[in-house]
């Protein structure tokens, strides 16, 4: 078994699994936003959509390198990779801000519960 093939196959499976987790989190944060109306859930939702896009582009690249099956032409892949280079950091910033706000809300609600 070729090590390079195994590495790309593993990366493909990992990226697909992470994209599935991102879909689950997008649904969860969408539900939480509908229930609470707190905009921090929108930040977390958008951050997960960015991560999901990055994972799907990585999965398509890993699929090509392990099986030589092209999901998109080379010119489109260059554009998708360029957008992935932007979406990753943007998703990280949105995720970080949303997490900080979520912790802030949790600590604020926890301190009000401690007085009762």
The DSSP call for residue 35 is H
60-102 residue pLDDT tens: 988 888 888 888 888 898 999 999 999 989 999 999 999 999 9
The neighbour count for residue 81, using CB atoms within 10 Å, is 14
Give the separation between CA 77 and CA 97, rounded to whole angstroms. Answer: 30
**Confidence (pLDDT) at 114:** 57
Query: pTM for the full model?
Result: 0.84
């Amino acid at each position: 078994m070729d090590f390079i093939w195994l590495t790309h196959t593993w990366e493909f499976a990992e990226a697909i699994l992470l994209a599935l987790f991102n879909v689950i989190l997008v649904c969860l944060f969408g539900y939480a936003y509908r229930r609470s109306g707190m905009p921090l859930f929108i930040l977390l939702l958008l951050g997960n959509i960015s991560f999901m896009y990055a994972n799907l582009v990585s999965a398509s690249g890993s699929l090509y390198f392990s099986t030589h099956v092209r999901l998109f032409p080379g010119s489109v892949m260059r554009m998708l990779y360029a957008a992935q280079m932007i979406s990753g950091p943007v998703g990280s910033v949105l995720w970080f801000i949303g997490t900080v706000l979520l912790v802030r809300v949790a600590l604020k609600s926890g301190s009000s519960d401690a007085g009762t």
